[in-house]
Every structure is written in structure tokens, then in C-alpha cells.
Amino acid sequence: MMHRKTISVISYITIIGWIIAYREYEKGAKSSLAKFHLEQSFGLAVIVVVSNIIMMIPVFFDSFFILLLIINNMGLVILWIAGLISAYHGVRLPLPFIGFYFKDKFRFIQ
């Protein structure tokens, strides 16, 4: 069984890492730290997918919007790094600007 801090860190490493962390959490490694970071990383993944779909629409019409897509993704990488650092240090620090939206929003993570 994985340690709660390990689950927290793994949850930020790709969707496969999130699934592994979630399965370990469900097996009995339940802790408020692991739950918090599972919620934060899942919320960030949803934001990444949705924002990239939305940002790709203008790119089809004008290549200038690629610059906005790159800036958007750089900001998302910074948020990802912030979450990863928070998980590594074992603290429940929400992602800047968006993290408070994810607290207790994903009911399947109990």
C-alpha cells in the first residue's frame, strides 16, 4: 500500500498516474491529503482538456491564436508544478486561482 504523500504526488503525473493513485486511495489508503490532491489534479486535468478544446477553435481560423494557446498551456504547466510541489511537501495548498473550485466537487472521490 502506498503512503498518502506518494498517492498525492502520483495523482499529478498523467492520467495513468491519477488512475493508479485513485485505485490505491480506494483500496484503503484514504486520507484527507490524498483526497485533496486527487480532487485538485482531476480538476486541473478537466481544465486542461476543456481549455485546449476551446482554444483550438480560433486556431483553425487564424494562426495568431497559437500564441494564445501556448500562453494558456504555459500557465497550466505552472499550475501543475504548483500542485506537484504542494503534494510533494505534504500540504493541502489549493492550486492558484482555480483550486478552490475543486474542493468537494467530485463526489466519486470519497
Q: Could you read off the pLDDT of 55-97 as tens digits, one per residue? A: 999 999 998 999 999 999 999 999 999 999 999 999 999 999 9
With beta carbons less than 8 A apart as the criterion, state whether 2 and 29 touch. Answer: yes
**Coil, helix or strand for 6?**
helix
Domain ranges of the chain: 4-101
* CA separation for the pair 92, 50 (Å, rounded): 25
pLDDT band with cut points at 50, 70 and 90 for residue 108? confident
Half-sphere exposure of 1 (CA within 13 A, CB side): 9
Q: CB burial class (10 A; 0-12, 13-18, 19+) of residue 15?
A: exposed
User: Model-level pTM?
Assistant: 0.89
Handedness of CA 81, 85, 90, 96 (dihedral sign): negative
Q: Residue 1: its pLDDT value, please?
A: 64
C-alpha triplet 89, 93, 96: angle, nearest 5°: 125
